[in-house]
Chains A and B, each alone.
Chain A
Amino acid sequence: MQRWLHTLAHELFDFESPETTGERIYFRVIELFLVFYALLFCWNWGLYIQQNVSSVLLPLGIAKHVDISFMFDHYLALVNAGLVTILCGVGVFRLWRPAYFVALLLFHLQYVSRYCLGEISHGSNLVGMGILGLGLAHLYFRTERYRRRFTLGFLYFFIGLGYTSAAVCKLIGTGITWPDGHHLLMWIAERKVDVMSKFGAFEPTMLQELVLQDYRFGTVFLTFGLLAELSGILMWWRRYRYVVVLAVLGMHIGIFFTMNIMFHASTYLLVLLGLPWHRLTDRFRSFLQSARPPQGQRRRPA
């Protein structure tokens, strides 16, 4: 067990290997992406709470213990979004170490205030985990390089765990027959009603037409989705990481075309985590440097 944990820690964090400029740029892009989406969610939810939410139908998270109806008045949801914005700004500029962690707590309050009408949305969970990872990295590490390595390892650990957990839930909730294509027929019909409710009309996609004509196509799609989710924790190991993240990304694209559900933030985060962007950045930088004429051959200005 000790040996396995030791290997796992090295696979996730790899603190020893030297850090390249590409990695530093790559991490900053991920951090800004997480902050951008955290603010987008908080402000969108703030406006929605202000306009539409007046009672708690389903208390989630901290709302099970605290009456959060105070968030519906006096523009408090917008004030909260403002506080998250300031804290994220403080985090980005490294002015106060607990900033991201406190931002996550207020982000949680915003989420439970927005989703107290019955819907349990998972579109923002990965962004929330990302802000939590940043928060813990800044609380527990003082060196930027270690913070970066920790945050990325943290993300791969909990994202992988989340997908495998989703697959296990399916196997417990339904059993081995979960990928039966008839189930996709049910979900397509359900999404049809949702899309009609949202936009007034529904046009099936090509994949939906395929499943509606022959449910066995649905069995193929669901089997791929279940296997992709089950393999989630394999992203803890570098050898399988990119293949597994791309498989999960493929599953999300499949969900979009078969069920009209798109988790934008999670999908884009997987695009960022699923390809070796830092290596591509390093190669691009090397290419630019090699294309530049040597110092001695540069023309001096007249």
Chain B
Amino acid sequence: MSLYKKSLRIIGSLFVVYALLVATHRGEFWPFSIYPMFSQAGPPWTRALVREVPKGKDHIPTDTVSLSELPGSSFPVAPEGINQNDVANYVSKTETWSAGRVEGLRSLFARNESLETSLLIYRVRGRLLEDSVQVRAIPVLFFAPDSTHLHPSLDTD
């Protein structure tokens, strides 16, 4: 078999494997991908933000606010060695906040230790309005050093 034929056969066979794997795994089977990111333009998005609030607070606020009205101070996750996408996905993709899910998110910040500070986790939603984007933040979880509080509207076990 010529080198060209052999190379085409390898690439052709891999292409079939590639197509089968991405077709049966929602477009992703690393390192194969159909690269669907940003393919749906325009629909509302959901991300997350973490705020540090003074100690002593023992309940979760329920108000939906804009980014300029967020309470407390910013709590950047990168210096803590946490990936912001992990926090955002945890917050946006969790539908039922079971004890395991809540503990899983808390452990991202606490890592087997007690929290030194009180953190408010916000679900942030954006949607297109004419020529601007409306961004609103809803508190979902409040991690105090010794307790965890969920927004009353969340689904739990």
Q: Which residues of A does B touch, CB under 8 Å? A: 5-6, 8-10, 12-13, 15, 48, 51-52, 54-55, 57-58, 60-61, 64, 104, 108, 111-112, 115, 117-122, 124-129, 131-132, 136, 140, 146, 150, 153-154, 157-158, 161-163, 165-166, 169-170, 172-174, 177-178, 180, 182-183, 185-190, 192-194, 196-201, 215
Contact at A9–B76, with CB atoms within 8 Å?
Answer: no
A-side contacts of B94, CB under 8 Å: 57
B148 CB within 8 Å of chain A: no
Contact at B89–A125, with CB atoms within 8 Å?
Answer: no
Pick the contact of A182 from B8, B14, B42 — CB < 8 Å?
B42
Contact at A189–B3, with CB atoms within 8 Å?
Answer: no
Question: Once the chains are docked, how many angstroms separate the CA of A79 from the CA of B50?
Answer: 33
A-side contacts of B77, CB under 8 Å: 197-198
Question: Once the chains are docked, how many angstroms separate the CA of A104 from the CA of B83?
Answer: 24
* Nearest-CB residue, chain A, relative to B78: A198
Majority secondary structure of chain B interface residues (helix, strand, loop or mixed)? mixed
Question: Once the chains are docked, how many angstroms separate the CA of A199 from the CA of B49?
Answer: 11
Most chain B CB neighbours (cut-off 10 Å) among A6, A161, A194: A194
Question: Once the chains are docked, how many angstroms separate the CA of A282 from the CA of B150?
Answer: 65
Contact at B93–A125, with CB atoms within 8 Å?
Answer: no
Pick the contact of A60 from B30, B49, B74, B78 — CB < 8 Å?
B30
Contact at B38–A197, with CB atoms within 8 Å?
Answer: no
Question: Once the chains are docked, how many angstroms separate the CA of A186 from the CA of B82?
Answer: 25
24 contacts between A and B (CB under 8 A): A5-B8, A6-B4, A9-B5, A61-B28, A64-B25, A117-B90, A118-B92, A120-B28, A125-B35, A146-B3, A161-B15, A166-B34, A172-B39, A173-B39, A185-B128, A186-B45, A186-B128, A189-B135, A190-B47, A192-B135, A193-B124, A197-B48, A197-B84, A198-B84
B-side contacts of A140, CB under 8 Å: 6, 10
Q: Which residues of B does A touch, CB under 8 Å? A: 3-8, 10-11, 14-15, 18, 25, 27-42, 45, 47-50, 67, 74-78, 81-90, 92-94, 100, 104, 107-108, 111, 124, 126, 128, 131-133, 135
Contact at A118–B132, with CB atoms within 8 Å?
Answer: no
Most chain A CB neighbours (cut-off 10 Å) among B3, B82, B92: B3
Contact at B28–A60, with CB atoms within 8 Å?
Answer: yes
Question: Nearest-CB distance from A43 to chain B (Å)?
Answer: 14
Question: Which A-B residue pairs are the 10 nearest by beta carbons?
Answer: A118-B89, A128-B31, A173-B39, A166-B35, A183-B41, A200-B76, A200-B74, A119-B85, A9-B4, A169-B39
Contact at A136–B86, with CB atoms within 8 Å?
Answer: no
A-side contacts of B89, CB under 8 Å: 57-58, 117-119
With contact pairs A200-B74, A201-B74 given, residues A169 and B132 touching in the complex (Cβ less than 8 Å) = no
A-side contacts of B30, CB under 8 Å: 60-61, 108, 111-112, 115, 124-125, 128
Question: Once the chains are docked, how many angstroms separate the CA of A118 from the CA of B92?
Answer: 9
B-side contacts of A115, CB under 8 Å: 30
With contact pairs A55-B100, A118-B89, A140-B6 given, residues A174 and B41 touching in the complex (Cβ less than 8 Å) = yes
With contact pairs A15-B3, A136-B14 given, residues A197 and B87 touching in the complex (Cβ less than 8 Å) = yes
Question: Nearest-CB distance from A199 to chain B (Å)?
Answer: 5
A-side contacts of B42, CB under 8 Å: 174, 180, 182-183, 186
* Nearest-CB residue, chain A, relative to B131: A215
* Nearest-CB residue, chain A, relative to B3: A15
Contact at A125–B82, with CB atoms within 8 Å?
Answer: no
B-side contacts of A132, CB under 8 Å: 14, 31
* Nearest-CB residue, chain B, relative to A104: B31
Contact at A162–B35, with CB atoms within 8 Å?
Answer: yes
Contact at A162–B33, with CB atoms within 8 Å?
Answer: yes
* Nearest-CB residue, chain B, relative to A187: B38
6 additional A-B residue pairs with CB within 8 Å, beyond A140-B6, A162-B33: A13-B7, A120-B28, A166-B37, A178-B39, A189-B133, A193-B48
Question: Once the chains are docked, how many angstroms separate the CA of A169 from the CA of B40?
Answer: 9
* Nearest-CB residue, chain A, relative to B81: A51
* Nearest-CB residue, chain B, relative to A174: B41
